[in-house]
C-alpha cells in the first residue's frame, strides 16, 4: 500500500504505524489461514452497511468458534478512529480477526488471544474504463469448494480456492473468473457475486450454489433492483444461462457494480454494459453519495 510512513493501523486497541503493525509467525492466521475478515467501504465519511458487515464478521467468527477479541461497538469505533487518523473519508477498510498465537499444531483453542486489526486505504479496484465498457472474465477450471466441505458464508482468511481461480484469470489476461460449483452450476467470482439480467429480471445464484452472502448482492436484491422496478430471482444458473443472458454484472464491496462484456471471449448481449446494469450502477452511486444516514 502507499504508505509514506504516516499511515496508522488499528491493532488490538491501539493506533500504530505500519512498521509496528505486526503479528507473530506463530499466529494461526499465518500458519493455517485461521481467522476471518471483512472488506468495507466508506463514502463521504459514512461507513457503508457497517452493521451488515459487522453481523457477517461476527457470524464468521462464531462459525469458526473464534471468540471476537472486541465487541461490535468497539470495532465500530476502531474503524471510525482509523479513518480519521488517516484523514480518509472515501476508503476501503479491512477488518481482520486472527486466531492468535499458538503452537505448531492445528488446535485452535490452544491460541488463547485472538488478534484484531483494521487497515484503511484508498483503493480503486478496477480502472474506470472497465465500468464504462464492461469487463472480460473467464470461467475458471478451479471449482468452488463444496458447501459440505467449507461453509462459503464464512469469510475466512483462507482464500486459496479463490486465489487459484484468480491465477487462471490472470493467465488469461482478465481480472475476474466465474467459479462453478462441483455440480457445474454458476456459483460466484473469486471476489464478487454474479448476476444476470434476462427480460428485465435480475437473477443471481442462491446460497446453496456455494456463495458468500455479499453485502452488495443484498443491496442490489433488496434495495436497488426493486427501486428500479426489476423483479429479482435467486435461481441455479448454468454457464449457458449466463452466456445467453441479456446482461451480466458482478457485485462486491470493492468492485461495487461492474458490467461484464465477454465471458471466455463470447460477447454478452451486445458486448457492452447493458441498460439495467447502467441504471443499477447509477442508483448505487446516487445512494452511496447521498447524505442519507448510515444504515
* Binding positions for ligand PMP, rule: CB under 6 A: 39, 162, 188, 191-193, 212, 214-217, 251-253
Looking at beta carbons only, is 60 or 193 nearer to ligand PMP? 193
* Minimal distance, residue 1 CB to ligand PMP, in Å: 17
Catalytic sites, residue numbers: 155
Looking at beta carbons only, is 7 or 216 nearer to ligand PMP? 216
* Minimal distance, residue 217 CB to ligand PMP, in Å: 6
* Minimal distance, residue 152 CB to ligand PMP, in Å: 7
Secondary structure (H, E, C), the chain:
CCCCCCCEEEECCEEEECCCCCCCCCEHHHHHCCEEEEEEEEECCEECCHHHHHHHHHHHHHHCCCCCCCCHHHHHHHHHHHHHHCCCCCEEEEEEEECCECCCCCCHHHCCCCEEEEEEECCCCCCHHHHHHCEEEEECCCCCCCCCCCCCCCCECCCHHHHHHHHHHHHCCCCEEEEECCCCCEEEECCCEEEEEECCEEEECCHHHCCCCCHHHHHHHHHHHHHCCCCEEECCCCHHHHHCCCEEEEEECCCEEEEEEEECCEECCCCCCCHHHHHHHHHHHHHHCCCCCCC
* Minimal distance, residue 215 CB to ligand PMP, in Å: 4
Looking at beta carbons only, is 101 or 177 nearer to ligand PMP? 177
Looking at beta carbons only, is 33 or 39 nearer to ligand PMP? 39
Task: Determine the Cα–Cα distance for residues 24 and 260; give it in Å rounded to an integer.
Answer: 41
* Minimal distance, residue 163 CB to ligand PMP, in Å: 11
Looking at beta carbons only, is 120 or 253 nearer to ligand PMP? 253
* Minimal distance, residue 99 CB to ligand PMP, in Å: 20
Q: Are 180 and 139 in contact (CB under 8 A)?
A: yes
C-alpha pair distances (Å), 55 with each of 76, 114, 216:
11, 18, 14
Looking at beta carbons only, is 37 or 117 nearer to ligand PMP? 37
Amino acid at each position: 500500500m502507499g504508505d509514506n510512513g504516516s499511515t496508522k493501523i488499528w491493532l488490538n486497541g491501539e493506533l500504530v504505524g505500519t512498521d509496528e503493525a505486526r503479528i507473530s509467525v506463530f499466529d494461526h492466521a499465518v500458519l493455517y489461514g485461521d481467522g476471518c475478515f471483512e472488506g468495507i467501504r466508506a463514502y463521504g465519511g459514512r461507513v457503508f452497511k457497517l452493521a451488515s458487515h459487522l453481523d457477517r464478521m461476527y457470524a464468521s467468527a462464531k462459525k469458526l468458534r473464534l471468540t471476537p477479541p472486541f465487541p461490535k461497538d468497539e470495532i465500530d469505533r476502531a474503524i471510525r478512529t482509523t479513518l480519521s487518523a488517516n484523514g480518509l473519508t472515501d476508503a476501503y477498510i479491512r477488518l481482520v480477526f486472527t486466531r492468535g498465537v499458538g503452537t505448531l499444531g492445528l488446535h485452535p483453542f490452544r491460541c488463547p488471544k485472538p488478534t484484531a486489526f483494521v487497515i484503511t486505504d484508498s483503493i480503486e479496484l478496477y480502472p474506470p474504463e472497465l465500468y464504462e465498457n464492461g469487463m472480460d472474465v473467464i470461467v475458471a477450471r478451479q471449482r468452488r469448494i463444496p458447501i459440505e466441505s467449507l461453509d462459503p458464508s464464512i469469510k475466512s482468511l483462507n482464500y486459496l480456492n479463490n486465489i487459484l481461480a484468480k491465477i487462471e484469470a490472470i493467465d488469461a489476461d482478465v481480472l475476474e473468473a466465474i467459479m462453478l460449483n462441483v455440480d457445474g452450476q454458476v456459483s460466484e467470482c473469486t471476489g464478487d457475486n454474479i448476476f444476470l439480467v434476462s427480460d428485465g429480471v435480475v437473477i443471481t445464484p442462491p446460497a446453496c450454489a456455494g456463495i458468500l452472502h455479499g453485502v452488495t448482492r443484498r443491496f442490489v436484491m433488496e434495495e436497488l433492483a426493486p427501486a428500479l422496478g426489476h423483479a429479482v430471482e435467486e435461481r441455479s444458473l448454468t454457464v449457458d444461462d449466463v452466456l445467453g443472458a441479456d446482461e451480466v454484472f458482478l457485485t462486491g464491496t470493492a468492485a461495487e457494480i461492474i458490467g461484464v462484456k465477454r465471458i471466455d471471449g463470447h460477447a454478452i448481449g451486445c458486448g457492452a454494459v447493458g441498460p439495467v446494469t447502467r441504471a443499477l450502477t447509477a442508483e448505487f452511486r446516487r445512494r452511496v453519495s447521498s447524505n442519507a444516514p448510515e444504515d
